[in-house]
Structures are given as structure tokens and as C-alpha cells.
Amino acid sequence: MNSRLFPELDKLAAFNSDITQIRSFLEEMSEKGFEFGRWDGDKFYPANLELESVIHEHFGIDLPTVEKERRQVLEKLHNQ
């Protein structure tokens, strides 16, 4: 398949190793009780961020487009 047809999947593949390492690190920190947020005076406000979205946003990967391209790939494979 022509990879230029699926640029978001290409981007995801290019950063896959980095994404995996970051996800693993953040999950480990969470298991150890670390939490993202901010202090405002004497009160802590958890960030309540969705891990996958934040990681992919960092790399400029649009997850809805990734899903759309995956469906296109599956459709092409199904029609061959």
C-alpha cells in the first residue's frame, strides 16, 4: 500500500517506540502514587487527563484520523 495514503498511521508507526516508553513510565509512576495536577495555595487539583490522548497529542497524532485510516486499510485488504 502507498504509505502516503495513510499519513497519520505512518506518524503513529514512527513514534510507536517513544509512545510505548512514555506510556510505560507514566503507568509506573501512577502505580507508585504519582499524580498530575496543580497546587493552588493549600489545595491540589488533579489533572484528570486521559493518558492516551495526552501522549498522542504530544506527538501531533490525531486519534480519530488514525481510526479512519485503519478502517480504510481494512477496507482495502477486504476488497483485494
pLDDT digits (tens, 9 = 90+) for 37-48: 999 999 999 988
Q: What is the pLDDT of residue 3?
A: 56
In this prediction, residue 20 carries a pLDDT of 96
* Model pLDDT, residue 2: 53
Q: How far is CA 39 from CA 7, 36, 49, 78, in A?
A: 39, 10, 16, 52
Read off the amino acid at residue 42: D
pLDDT of residue 47: 87
Instruction: Give backbone dihedrals phi and psi of 53, rounded to 5 degrees, phi first.
Output: -65, -45
Note the pLDDT of residue 48. Answer: 84
Burial 59-79 (b: 16+ CB within 10 A, else e): eebeeeebeebeeeeeeeeee
Low-confidence ranges of the chain (pLDDT < 50): 1
Domain range annotation of the chain: 3-78
CB 36 within 8 A of CB 47: yes
